[in-house]
Amino acid sequence: MAEKKKREEVQLAPSSSGSVMSMPSAIVAILVAFALGALVGNVVGRNSTADGEEIAMAEGDRAHGEGAGAAPAGDGSDQTRYRIDINDQMPQRGPDNALVTIVMWSDYQCPFCSRVEPTLARITEQFRDQVRIIWRDQPLPFHQNAMPAAEAAHEAYAQGGDQKFWQMHDLLFENQQNLSRETIDRLAQQVGLDMTRYRAAMDNHTHQAAIRADSEAGNRIGANGTPAFFINGRELMGAQPFEEFQRVINEEIAHANEVLRNGTPRAQLFQTIVRNGRTAAAPPEGQGAAQKAAPPARPQPDPRAVYRVPVGDSPQQGPADALVTVVIFSDYQCPFCSRVEPTLASLRESYGNDLRLVWKNNPLPFHSNAMPAAEASAEVYAQRGAAAFWQYHDILFQNQQALAREDLERYAGQIQGIDMARFRAALDNHTHQAAIEADQTLARQLGASGTPSFFINGRNLRGAQPVEAFRTLVDEVLGQARQRVSSGTPRARVYEATIADGATQPVMLPAPAGAAAPPAQPAEDPNRVYNIPVPAGAPVQGPANAPVTIQIFSDFQCPFCSRVNPTIDQFMERYQGRVRLVWRDFPLPFHPNAMPAANAAREILQQRGPQAFWQYHHALFENQRDLTRETLVRLAQEIPGVNMQQFNAALDSNEHQAEIQADMDAVRTAGAQIGTPSFFINGRLLQGAQPIDAFTAAIDRALADGPARPGGAH
């Protein structure tokens, strides 16, 4: 983690002209927010008519647990709270030592998030040094511009800290109705960002992992609608009026002062107040103990299953006798479909005549321009064939924010030889809609209802995965295809032979036995001591007889794991000789490079021992944004004495996967539910990239308690 950035006071959100909001405008905004807040109390799970697709409010998305409903007047001490991890790398308004911390999850394209902004500005003005507001992202999937806007705001923060972030934040909300890439680029320039660095971050999706981590953290505590607020851990959902925020804030100021009078240092105030809070959304009222346990694990799609996906007469790119066929179910208005297009182009270039792409339409119902765009591309294909189709396809994705009827006609006019009268008639008469609906039906039958979804020689890969995920699967099926050819199958028959016996509906793996069993104790108990034995041969720093053992469960691709590393260095130096640090692997499934990186580090450990492991560990985190196979190999070559042939063989065979899985199973066996990074300090759990004060408090407590038993438990 970089040294903590100096916080700059940010007052009322300026208007586009740079002046503070006028009093009449503020009054109007507050009245609107008040009316909207009153409406919330009468709306439960209802769709708003604001834009035809918006979830009405975060409130009503789930039932509240005991004590989380109407808050009684008082000092706030008897309220249901949530334990929320924060760190100094999150955008913030207000001082670090504020009495009240408001953590908010929001979405730049959500109209309710926009409407509550004047209320937040009033809070900032009225409570000044008493309140800080921390921003966390929750871009909703049906807001196609929310993720790019969040990425731009993150880059503003990376370049200019809180000041640049909030400038960008305010401009994004002021331009909420037109958050195209062109608009976002213009706003970045207006804020004064380094545009070369900004464009690279946007094109490479540098900040997407951090945004998704915010989203997942919100989901865990029920902040899956927007806007959602947690005021010193107390939940407040929706665009509530100022008076509702004011009531809760005043209660929390009184409670915070009481906590301070009891001896809590002000720097630890927020952590102390939320320490015993929930770590997951409260179950609906009236549920029994069995129902409050973790829900049963759902069956998961079998990644090894082969599906029978006919090519038919769909548009193709690449030769018909290619050894690998990638069937794409996509949507011209889907932002994730757009983002994966460069990956597909890279695959075509890399694999040449061994790979062909086949396009199938799956326009999603909440993308109003997706079906017309699909019909338009189908008519171009009908008139001028595959080459014209792919030309038009590229134009549509390049202009994804402008897919109105007039745009579709204008783009068609750029394709040589298109009969525009016939083109317009096809759109008017929906000539190709039946064929498009047939593609959609096929997608649903195969379990590929979302976009983008890919079938690579019948093997399903979902979402805008990184190129390495595609290459891994393509290489695997390419090897199988070559074996078919060597056994006598003609190249032109390889695909049909491969999918001949394929499934026609989703193939699911059964849920693991006992996956739904509840833990022996609530995971949120801060005093619980977990018994997690330290395995022989685990990477260790510090003496074996140290009175405190800290086991860190981490992921080489997790940005929060990277940020906590300097803090680890701090407490290891401060408690030199008294702390033993043990590395444990916990690669998260949505980080595609985390497992290969963990496997590579294990191989370095096996070949060259702990010192080489930690050297490689540091190199992996320094190159966290580029953990491709090529990078893993290059970094291994920098470690003296590594046998590279043996190293590559270990990566090819996933040699250390069992050891890595054993680390993950150890947590589950102990009954803990964690994310990354998580620390077991003599068996007590500390989660997240916490500040140094949180670690020193936990280590001091462990030292006072006395040495741990073998395995880290007392």
- What would the pLDDT profile of 521-578 be if each residue is shown by its tens digit? 333 456 789 999 999 999 999 999 999 999 999 999 888 888 889 999 999 999 999 9
CATH no. for 23-142+210-274: 3.40.30.10
- What would the pLDDT profile of 190-239 be if each residue is shown by its tens digit? 999 999 999 999 999 999 999 998 998 998 998 888 899 999 999 998 88
Mean predicted confidence (pLDDT) in 167-179: 90
CA distances from 375 to 185, 399, 431 (A): 30, 16, 8
CATH 3.40.30.10 in the chain: give the residue spans. 23-142+210-274, 316-499, 540-705
- What would the pLDDT profile of 122-154 be if each residue is shown by its tens digit? 898 889 889 999 999 999 877 888 999 999 999
Please name which of 414, 337, 417 lies closest in space to residue 369, comparing C-alpha atoms.
337
Tokens of 144: 């196609």
State the fold for domain 540-705. Glutaredoxin (3.40.30)
CATH no. for 316-499: 3.40.30.10
DSSP result, 81-149: -B-----TTS-EES-TT-SEEEEEEE-TT-HHHHHHHHHHHHHHHHHGGGEEEEEEE---TT-TTHHHH
Q: Do 128 and 12 contact (CB within 8 A), yes or no?
A: no
- What would the pLDDT profile of 444-492 be if each residue is shown by its tens digit? 889 887 789 999 999 999 888 888 889 999 999 999 999 999 999 999 9
- 421 or 292, which is more confident: 421
Place of tokens 């390889």: 494
DSSP result, 387-398: HHHHHHHHHHHH
Q: What local confidence, expressed as pLDDT, does residue 359 receive?
A: 98
pLDDT score of 582 more than 90: yes
pLDDT score of 587 more than 50: yes
pLDDT band at residue 68 using 50, 70 and 90 as cut-offs: very low
pLDDT band at residue 590 using 50, 70 and 90 as cut-offs: low
- Distance CA(236)–CA(259), nearest Å, equals 22
pLDDT score of 17 more than 50: no
- 8 or 92, which is more confident: 92
Q: b vs e for 630-644, b when ≥16 Cβ sit within 10 Å of the residue's Cβ? A: ebbeebbeebeebee
Place of tokens 């001949």: 500
